[in-house]
Structure 1
Amino acid sequence: MKSALLILGCLFTLFSFLPLIRTPLWWIRVLDFPRLHVAVILAVILVLYTTMYGVEGTWETLMVAAWVLGILNEIRYVYNFTPLAKVEALRTEVAKPTNAFTMMMANVRMVNKDYQKFLDVVLEEDPDMLVMNEPDQAWHDSVCQEMDKRYPYSIKKPLDNTYGMLFWSKFKLHNSEIRFNVEDDIPSFYTVVELPSGKKFDLFTVHPQPPRLMLNTETREAELLIVAKESKKTPYPSVVAGDLNDVAWSNTTKLFKEVSGMLDPRVGRGFYNTYNAHIPVFRYPLDHVFYDPAFRLVSLRRLRKFGSDHFPMTITLNYEPQHEAEQEHPHADLEDKMEAEELIQEGLEKGEERNREKQEERIEPKN
């Protein structure tokens, strides 16, 4: 038992500190996700070991100290997403917001066939805008008729590679584009949304690739940081939404916020975990919405599951540019900007490489 605790303690301490390495290697980046899990497991190991065997000698003291540092290292990442931390995105103080909109985000999971359950949630919530990640043609065909009746504006790109995207809006859209920022088969959407009052804002919807076996994260980083830069150039305040396949406390998300200057409504409020809906013990905040300080938060909710491995989310924001200066927001310094440029360049190069590989796979060998 003692040997097992020693091995596990050292292993989970390694899990805590490995993500400090700035690298896109998948087997390191996946450790960004279970920060809270590693902290809890390491704390249990620490309590069991010290209770059962005590701490004797310099070597054991140093080892236990390393475990404590590992726990504290993990906690410092997730702390901001607890009610103990200062709220970053302020709530509106307007009793009846007149420039408000509600957006629902849902990764429907392509292989999920519970179309009606999903529609039931949408119809119950009746959002002003709906972002769907992972829809294929079957999903499109199953929900399109109902959605088109209720939403006069849309952008559609269903795909059978789990990176399709659909967007519907009750509000008028301008300059809508389907973009392929890094990889030829992974789209993102851009549009200018016009509120009923005539006020406008930019909306970016994204769904980059996650870290997984033998697939590093260069393209994910590039996708997010390209959008972060673009959001700063547009003439209107911006909102970024979608399944980012990254947790809210990662260094990539932190850099995204600094480059874009956007707020995260989760900070100081909670995790609002959206994945995995099927496994309660292992849940992470992967579906996000970030927005310009010109908006104030009205509400943020996680909705009931409908068969996907993701919970849907809904957020209501009110456009209040007159109070923008009251919200502190992240800023990028020169070092942040240089790091972002390097990551974008690395991601674009990796994206070109993957595009060539996919193109070669599609070409049948000649006999």
Structure 2
Amino acid sequence: METALNIARITLSIICILAVIASKIKLGNWWIRVFDFPRIQLLSLAFIAMVLFFIPPLKFHAWNLALLALVIISFIFQAKKIYPYTILAKKEVKRFRGTDRENGISMLVSNVLTPNRQANKLIDLVKSYQPNLVLTLESDKWWEKQLETLEKDFPHQVKIPLDNLYGMHLYSNLPLENTKVHYLVKDDIPSIHSEVVLPSGKKVQIHCVHPEPPSPTESDTSVPRDAELLIVGKNVKEADLPVLVFGDLNDVAWSRTTRLFQKISGLLDPRKGRGFYNTFHADHNLLRWPLDHIFHSKHFQLKKIKRLPSISSDHFPIFIHLILNPGNGQEDQKEKLEKDEKNWTKETIADANPNMLTI
């Protein structure tokens, strides 16, 4: 029993410590960046490890105390990363009270999982929530055919069916103008950029993205993903119109890249102070984190945000309703980029050798 406890304590402690070290290393290798994702799980592991240190018959030798101290540091490190997304933290986006149909915009974002054949589940959600915009990711020709039933209610469409897990379809019941499809970093990974005309006549700039994740089966480095997000961030920071950036970013809200994207773009995250809204992995309760995101400029307040039921994909859909109504109190609170952040941004974009820098 004592031997098993010691093995468990040491194993969990090493995992927690390595995760912190990996987070501090500014390299894009997938096996390093993978530690950005499970911070909730790593926090739980650190807590379990701390508890194990106080189960007898542990003898507190110097090395045990040192190991315990490192585990406590790792617990605090992970807690600080995810704290802004708990209900204990300050909300970054104010709640809109009242009704304003002229200046409202709602979106349903869903990574459908290309081989998934339960299109009816997504269609039912669209009919139930009646969003203004529907963005599907990983949608191919089969999905395009199934979603034709939406076209009557969503007369404005951008269709990019692909078989490489990066297909993308946008359906809108509001007019779209100046629509462009770009392949910012890689020739087979598209993004959609357009302007939406609200019922009030006001326009909103939208950017739909789905960059490539760092993983052993797709990209062995996070550089392409990081570069795409940073390019979008740099392009929207001085936008003349209100801005929305949404999609499956293949990155978590608390990663260095996403936090830097927010600093560069000045966009707000309505999840802060409200919850994690974990959208991946839909099939594993203990392995979930927020991969699908909706960021917006200071011009909006939040009416509703909700993670929706499963559509048999590995991602849950997410729904958000925003009102064009400035007043979040964030206008003069933009964080300034540090010199090393500016350098890292330039180096990352240069290393990706992108197809274009201006959207």
CA distance, structure 1, for counterparts of residue 332 and residue 96 of structure 2: 15
Deviations 1:27-50 (A, max 9, x none): 010110111111111211221132
1:1-367 superposed matches below 5 A: 1=4, 2-96=6-100, 98-144=102-148, 146-213=149-216, 215-321=220-326, 323=327, 325=329, 330-333=334-337, 335=339, 336-348=341-353
CA contact (8 A) 2:102 2:199 kept: no
State the 1:162 CA deviation.
0.3
> In structure 1, the residue corresponding to 2:53 is in which secondary structure?
helix
CA contact (8 A) 1:17 1:70 kept: no
> In structure 1, the residue corresponding to 2:193 is in which secondary structure?
strand
Between 232-241 and 175-184, the greater mean CA deviation after superposition: 232-241
CA contact (8 A) 2:177 2:195 kept: yes
CA distance, structure 1, for counterparts of residue 74 and residue 328 of structure 2: 38
CA contact (8 A) 2:101 2:199 kept: no
Structure with more of its chain in helix, by fraction: 1
1:278 maps to amino acid: D
1:149 maps to amino acid: K
> In structure 1, the residue corresponding to 2:225 is in which secondary structure?
helix
1:343 maps to amino acid: T
CA distance, structure 2, for counterparts of residue 44 and residue 20 of structure 1: 23
CA contact (8 A) 2:253 2:291 kept: yes
CA distance, structure 2, for counterparts of residue 80 and residue 62 of structure 1: 29
State the 1:132 CA deviation.
0.6
Count of matched residue pairs: 349
CA contact (8 A) 1:206 1:241 kept: yes
Structure 1 pair 6–225 and aligned structure 2 pair: CA distance change class (3 A):
same
> In structure 2, the residue corresponding to 1:205 is in which secondary structure?
strand
2:80 maps to amino acid: R
CA distance, structure 1, for counterparts of residue 74 and residue 160 of structure 2: 43
For structure 2, the residue ranges without an aligned partner over 5 or more in a row are none
Between 18-27 and 254-263, the greater mean CA deviation after superposition: 18-27
CA contact (8 A) 1:263 1:329 kept: no
1:298 maps to amino acid: K
Structure 1 pair 181–56 and aligned structure 2 pair: CA distance change class (3 A):
same
State the 1:122 CA deviation.
1.1
CA distance, structure 1, for counterparts of residue 211 and residue 300 of structure 2: 25
Deviations 1:154-213 (A, max 9, x none): 111010000000001111111100000000000000001111111001000000011111
CA contact (8 A) 1:129 1:169 kept: yes
CA distance, structure 2, for counterparts of residue 334 and residue 17 of structure 1: 21
> In structure 1, the residue corresponding to 2:90 is in which secondary structure?
coil
Identity %: 36
Deviations 1:135-162 (A, max 9, x none): 0111011112x12111111111010000
Structure 1 pair 328–53 and aligned structure 2 pair: CA distance change class (3 A):
farther
1:139 maps to amino acid: W
For structure 1, the residue ranges without an aligned partner over 5 or more in a row are 353-367
Deviations 1:270-326 (A, max 9, x none): 0001011111111110000000001111110111111111111110111124x3655
Structure 1 pair 332–344 and aligned structure 2 pair: CA distance change class (3 A):
farther
Structure 1 pair 275–190 and aligned structure 2 pair: CA distance change class (3 A):
same
CA RMSD of aligned residues (A): 1.8
Give the TM-score normalised by the residue count of structure 1.
0.91
State the 1:91 CA deviation.
1.3
Give the TM-score normalised by the residue count of structure 2.
0.93
State the 1:118 CA deviation.
1.5
> In structure 1, the residue corresponding to 2:115 is in which secondary structure?
coil
CA distance, structure 2, for counterparts of residue 100 and residue 66 of structure 1: 48
> In structure 1, the residue corresponding to 2:287 is in which secondary structure?
coil
Structure 1 pair 15–98 and aligned structure 2 pair: CA distance change class (3 A):
same
Deviations 1:3-26 (A, max 9, x none): 342233123221233111111010
